[in-house]
Amino acid sequence: MEAIIATLTDEQRVKALNNIYQKGIATPSEQLAFSSDKLAYLKPFLGRLLDTTSNDLSSRIMIRQIVDDLLQDIMDEISATCARSGNVRVEKVVTEYGLQTLTHSSQDDFYATRKVA
């Protein structure tokens, strides 16, 4: 399974999702860099995530996996949107969505993934 930069803290994951949501609701749906379906999914998910204060390790690991998968899906859609438009740089869109914590400046890709168990 792939995970977005495994060194992110839970707070950074929640902040990244919140940034995506806030930018998404402020952006007209035809100008979103990812599908509006994901935005509709984010609202209740983010609300539950902010309310969850589970200390159960297995629950936290499962939540991290779900959040990482969701973030990776959104970042893939952003990358595809930028590739289709041709003139929009991925780094600019990532900055607009407040996702700088997911960038990896030493690679051509705007995010880095690695295999985890």
pLDDT of 29-60, one tens digit each? Answer: 888 889 888 888 888 888 777 776 556 666 77
Q: Whole-prediction pTM value?
A: 0.71
* pLDDT > 70: percent of the chain: 73
CA–CA gap between residue 112 and residue 104 (Å, rounded): 6
Taking the C-alpha atoms of residue 60 and residue 8, their distance in angstroms, rounded to an integer, is 13
pLDDT tier, 26 (very low <50, low <70, confident <90, very high otherwise): very high
pLDDT recorded at residue 95: 83
pLDDT tens figures, 76-85: 888 888 888 8
> Which tokens sit at 99?
């996702």
For 8, the token pair is 């992110």
Position 112 scores a pLDDT of: 46
> What's the Cα-to-Cα distance from 52 to each of 4, 45, 90, 93, 99, rounded to whole Å?
21, 10, 32, 29, 22
| C-alpha span between 3 and 57 (Å, rounded) | 17
Structure tokens at 51: 């309310």
